[in-house]
């Protein structure tokens, strides 16, 4: 008979169930250096289940239909970390969880939002090797109340093999801190002084989008705030939090942070560049606008006219508009035409009036094309409850 173990993690109502794989506990001190968990009573509704049979780990989560199988212990533990972060987002309604990496440089967090194959985890390890304190390399919690970030308490993960361009100092640091190694991933065991404690709340200093290109010399460029804002919206998984609160918090955070793009090839060059750039923190104010498009509820509106739903909240960043749905469950980004139509709907306006105005604004466009675009956009606005007759 296979052994059953139920592990309760702080902040979660239901446990992780381990069946026949008690040996995974040997690696928990490495992958969860700052997580609180304990063994508890049997629960028939575990959030996550791992069953070990015939040399394979079968992994399932209560909110996912299909299970996944792994032969490598490091792979199943990697999935466990990711799913625990998602599970916490279901119950923690005061925190946005960003898919990002971050280190502490000169007293503030420098955050690298997740972009596929950009090297954020490896760059994070290089920065820690240089003496900057580790916050996280995949999940960064952001408090809605304080607009400050903190560590999720997970160990840094390296993709193997390390790049051939890894300098000798960093390679020695990483290899000297590997405590769990699989075929694809390795986890590092960092000294406490290299980690920011989970209890410490940190001001956001900068959001840096990474662009890794072979052969380029590392350089930083200022980035439009809207580009960073869009990336943060994409890379958060706060599914149960009202979208207007997400917009409000991200607005405040981004307005007080530097927004940059780092183009690089060698991580050691990028580390030197970032270290020098953030030697001091200038005052930052991107002056973003956030508010509600409120209409007069008692105004008389003709039957054939459309108008904004007065419960929709909007943020305008440079020339980009973002809307929070009336039910608080979604965030929408408007393109140029969508933004123009939204502005027209500040007052009761018919579809024919919108088409006529756009015909005047775009004299070179065919009316049939304008009609098609207006119909599509208004249809989406109505379907999502952003506007109403």
* DSSP 3-state of 231: helix
Is 284 within the bounds of a domain?
no
Query: What pLDDT score was predicted for residue 46?
Result: 96
**For residue 277, what pLDDT band results from cuts at 50, 70 and 90?**
very high
Count: domains in the chain: 3
Identify the helix (H) or strand (E) that includes residue 5: strand 4-9
Dist CA 125 CA 267 (whole Å) = 10
Query: Which residue, of 62, 90, 118, is where some domain finishes?
Result: 90
Pair (111, 220) in one structural domain: yes
Q: Examine the domain organization and report whether 118 and 234 are in the same domain.
A: yes
Q: What pLDDT is stored for residue 310 in this prediction?
A: 82
DSSP 8-state assignment for residue 218:
P
pLDDT in tens, 104-132: 999 999 999 998 889 999 999 999 999 99
- Cα 240 to chain centroid, rounded: 14
Which of the listed residues 277, 310, 330 is the one where a domain comes to its end? 277
Can you read off the two tokens belonging to residue 61?
């989560």
Residue 56 and residue 143 in one domain: no
Q: Are residues 186 and 58 located together in one domain of the fold?
A: no
- Alpha carbon distances (Å) from 147 to 68, 90, 200, 323: 36, 19, 13, 20
For the sheet with 305-308, list strands across it: 349-350, 305-308, 387-388
The 10s digit of each residue's pLDDT in 348-377 is: 888 888 888 888 877 888 888 888 888 888
pLDDT classification of 296: cutoffs 50, 70, 90: very low
- Judge if 49 and 98 occupy the same domain: no
H or E element at residue 38: strand 37-39
Q: Taking all residues of the chain, what is their mean pLDDT, rounded to a whole number?
A: 89
pTM of the model: 0.82
Residues 139 and 221 in one domain: yes
The verdict on 97 and 86 lying in the same domain is: no
Which position has the token pair 């799913």?
A: 83
In terms of pLDDT, which residue wins out, 322 or 29? 29
Q: Which two tokens stand for residue 189?
A: 């065991």
Clarify whether residues 243 and 199 are in a common domain.
yes
- Which residue range(s) make up the domain with 366? 289-388
Would you call 366 helix, strand, or coil by DSSP? Answer: coil
Tell me which residue has tokens 């820690």: 128
Residue 164: which residues within 8 A CB-CB, separation 6 or more? Answer: none
223 and 210 within one domain: yes
The β-bridge relationship of strands 4-9 and 16-19 is: antiparallel
Which of 22, 56, 90 is where one domain is finished?
90
Q: Output the domain CATH number for residue 314.
A: 3.90.930.50
pLDDT of residue 292: 46
Q: DSSP letters of 102-157?
A: EEEETTEEEEEE--TTS-HHHHHHHHHHTTPEEEESSEEEEETTT--B----PPPE
The answer to whether residue 228 scores a pLDDT higher than 60 is yes
3-class SS of residue 378: helix
Does residue 268 surpass a pLDDT of 60? yes
pLDDT band at 286 (very low <50, low <70, confident <90, very high): low
Q: Which residue has the higher pLDDT, 308 or 87?
A: 87
Tell me, what's the pLDDT at 53? 95
Please state, in angstroms and rounded to a whole number, the distance separating the CA atoms of residues 171 and 183: 18
20-24, 71-75, 215-219, 237-241: the lowest-pLDDT one? 237-241
- Asked if the peptide bond before residue 306 counts as cis, ω within 30 degrees of 0, the response is no
Per-residue pLDDT tens digits for 133-183 = 999 999 999 999 999 999 999 999 999 999 999 999 999 999 999 999 999
Q: What is the DSSP string of 63-108?
A: T-SS-EEES-HHHHHHHHHHHHHHHHHHH-TTEEEEEEEEEEETTE
Whether residues 317 and 348 share a domain: the answer is yes
Evaluate whether residue 318 is within a structural domain: yes
Is pLDDT larger for residue 71 or for residue 326? 71
- pLDDT of 295 over the 70 cut: no
pLDDT band at residue 297 under the 50/70/90 scheme? very low
- What count of other Cβ atoms lies within 10 Å of the Cβ of residue 140? 28
Report the residue count for the chain: 389
Residue 234's H or E segment, with its range, is: helix 225-234
Q: Are 221 and 356 contained in the same domain? A: no
Domain-embedded: residue 344: yes
Question: How many Cβ atoms sit within 10 Å of the Cβ of residue 177?
Answer: 20
Report pLDDT digits (tens) over 203-226.
Answer: 999 999 999 999 999 999 999 888
CATH number at residue 253: 3.40.50
Residues 263 and 154 in one domain: yes
- Does 166 or 347 have the greater pLDDT score? 166
* Spatial distance between the Cα atoms of 117 and 102, rounded to a whole number of angstroms: 16
> Using an 8 Å Cβ cutoff, are 261 and 284 in contact?
no
Q: Strand 95-105 to strand 133-136: parallel, antiparallel, or no bridges (unpaired)?
A: antiparallel
Tell me the residue ranges of DSSP E strands in 193-329: 204-212, 219-222, 258-264, 289-292, 305-308, 313-317, 320-324
Look at residue 282 and tell me if it is in a domain: no
Q: Is residue 208 part of a domain?
A: yes
Q: Which residues of 299-329 are buried (b: 16+ CB within 10 A; e: fewer)?
A: eeeeeeebbbbebbbbbbbeebbbbbbbebe
């Amino acid at each position: 008979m296979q052994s059953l173990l139920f592990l309760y993690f702080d902040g979660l109502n239901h446990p992780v169930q381990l069946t026949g794989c008690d040996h995974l506990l040997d690696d928990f001190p490495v992958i969860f250096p700052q997580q609180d968990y304990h063994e508890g009573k049997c629960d028939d509704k575990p959030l996550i289940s791992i069953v070990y049979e015939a040399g394979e780990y079968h992994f399932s989560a209560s909110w996912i239909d299909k299970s996944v199988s792994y032969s490598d212990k490091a792979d199943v533990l990697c999935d466990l970390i990711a799913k625990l972060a998602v599970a916490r987002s279901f119950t923690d309604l005061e925190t946005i969880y960003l898919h990002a990496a971050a280190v502490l440089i000169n007293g503030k967090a420098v955050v690298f939002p997740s972009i596929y194959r950009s090297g954020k985890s490896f760059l994070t390890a290089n920065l820690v090797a240089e003496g900057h304190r580790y916050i996280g390399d995949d999940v960064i919690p952001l408090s809605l109340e304080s607009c400050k970030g903190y560590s999720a308490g997970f160990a840094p993960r390296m993709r193997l093999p390390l790049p051939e361009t890894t300098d000798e100092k960093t390679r020695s640091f990483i290899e000297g801190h590997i405590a769990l190694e699989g075929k694809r991933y390795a986890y590092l065991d960092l000294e406490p002084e290299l980690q920011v404690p989970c209890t410490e709340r940190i001001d956001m200093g900068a959001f840096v989008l990474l662009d890794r290109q072979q052969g380029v010399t590392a350089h930083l460029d200022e980035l439009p705030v809207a580009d960073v804002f869009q990336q943060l919206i994409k890379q958060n998984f706060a599914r149960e939090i009202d979208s207007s609160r997400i917009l409000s918090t991200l607005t405040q955070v981004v307005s007080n942070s530097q927004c940059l793009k780092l183009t690089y090839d060698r991580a050691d060059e990028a580390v030197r560049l970032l270290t020098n750039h953030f030697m001091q923190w200038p005052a930052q104010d991107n002056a973003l606008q956030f508010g509600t498009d409120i209409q007069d509820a008692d105004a008389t509106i003709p039957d054939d006219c459309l108008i904004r739903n007065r419960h929709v909240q909007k943020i305008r960043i440079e020339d980009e508009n973002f809307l929070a749905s009336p039910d608080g469950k979604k965030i929408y980004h408007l393109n140029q035409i969508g933004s123009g139509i939204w502005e027209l709907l500040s007052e009761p306006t018919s579809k024919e009036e919108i088409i006529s105005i756009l015909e005047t604004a775009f004299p070179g466009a065919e009316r049939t094309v304008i009609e098609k675009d207006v119909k599509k956009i208004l249809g989406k606005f109505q379907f999502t409850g952003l506007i109403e007759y």
